[in-house]
Amino acid sequence: MGLPFPIFTWWNGATFGTRMGLRGKKRIGEDSLGNLYYEGGRDPNGIPRRWVIYKGSNDASRIPPEWFSWLHHQIEGAPEEVLPPVRGWEKPWVPNQTGTELAYRPPGALEKGGQRVRATGDYEAWTPDA
């Protein structure tokens, strides 16, 4: 199309104005998905302001837990510096799968055909005459 969409759209990445607003802010790090994290300035309560610039679509579920903790001031330094190393038994982080083909659908869900295993016979439906 030829138009510079980052100037006008926010849903597929940071706008030009957002990038200009990050001038002078300190880049703290980058996560495994390529999202960039910045810190700079203070809010009226004196708490440092923190930002995430998404790589790709703006979806808050695409922030890994360790960076979520940093964004919400649960930890002070960058996760690589403050948190312990990942243990072998920890599962890798995955983004929210709701609304995708990979979403969990229990037996009996319409997307899985709407059929479920029949009840074992210990269920008796209520009737007003009983």
pLDDT in tens, the chain (130 residues): 455 555 555 555 666 767 777 888 899 999 988 999 999 888 899 999 998 988 887 888 888 889 999 999 999 899 989 998 889 998 887 878 888 889 988 888 888 777 777 777 767 788 898 6
pLDDT of residue 9: 57
Residue 12 and residue 21 in contact, taking contact as beta carbons nearer than 8 Å: no
Overall pTM > 0.85: no
| Spatial distance between the Cα atoms of 48 and 52, rounded to a whole number of angstroms | 14
In 10 A of CB 20, how many CB atoms?
9
pLDDT of residue 71: 94
